[in-house]
Structure 1
């Protein structure tokens, strides 16, 4: 009798939880990581909005990068703010100058005020429309109250997959 090999253990899912004061953020969208300094917007590139990185999206579903509360989803659905239990304030901003699109190219999949888990869908994008009409589709993922946390760690580079790849982590001071 042949015994089937044991199934390979599932890839270790990096649960985006606060663990010993560390918060782990997963990529909110699939794409290519871009340094924040390379974002074609002075407020993001100068880190005036906060610390983080950006992603040039290739995927159309934007997910929560960690567990928390969706405290704000802009009426135009181009950005959302999420607050973690540790008090981290995160902004996921899709594209540059996308507020001017008046919501075109975006579909809301979650509601403001909702409690979300890492990987829960928040927005769906029409990448073709956004590429044709936005100043840029490069999308910053920002820790807006970075002054309350230690420097970003485990910063990703290259390709990332929404809800699966660690984008970056940070610890409380």
Structure 2
């Protein structure tokens, strides 16, 4: 079931930024993500080639190598979408930027396009964390998805301001 993305003063609903299979954050093959040192969240093993904004907000950072981006919502949530593990080492290969840093995006709007074959062959892992980096300012994640998710349609998780 698809739920319209909501960003209010109290609750933020995050949609899956990429189509694929949900992976528990503890199972991400990177200690910083798995230990939650970067923040709370889940990961997705991508099967789709488009990465979309998980909610409305401002793209405050798109890394030069296009492997990750940070989005800030109007409620102040700081979200990180990181495609794969150690993908910064690929120097941008396998990624095409579809949105510009500093722009406002709507949930479901394309941000990146992936070359999944290249990434699967060259990245340490294609498992992609979707992190709330300032989780201490929000309630625990609720309604965390499992199984298959569809980019821009499936609710990945939700949280509220404290």
| Band the TM-score falls in, shorter-chain normalisation | over 0.9
> How far is 1:20 from its partner?
5.8
What number of residue pairs does the alignment pair up? 161
Partner of 1:83: 72
| DSSP 3-state at the match of 2:89 | helix
> How far is 1:14 from its partner?
1.9
For 1:52 and 1:60, the matched residues in 2 are separated by 21
Uncovered stretches (5+) of structure 2, i.e. residues with no partner = none
> How far is 1:16 from its partner?
1.6
Give the TM-score normalised by structure 2.
Answer: 0.98
Alpha-carbon displacement from aligned partner over 1:93-116 (angstroms, at most 9, x marks no partner): 000000000000000000000100
For 2:50 and 2:8, the matched residues in 1 are separated by 27
Give the number of the structure whose alpha-carbon radius of gyration is greater.
1
- After superposition, the CA RMSD in angstroms is 0.8
Give the TM-score normalised by structure 1.
Answer: 0.92
Alpha-carbon displacement from aligned partner over 1:142-169 (angstroms, at most 9, x marks no partner): 0000000000001000000000000000
Uncovered stretches (5+) of structure 1, i.e. residues with no partner = 1-12
Q: Please, which of 84, 90, 99 is the counterpart of residue 110 of structure 1?
A: 99
For 2:84 and 2:94, the matched residues in 1 are separated by 11
Q: List structure 1 segments (4+ residues) > 4 angstroms apart after TM superposition.
A: none
| DSSP 3-state at the match of 1:40 | coil
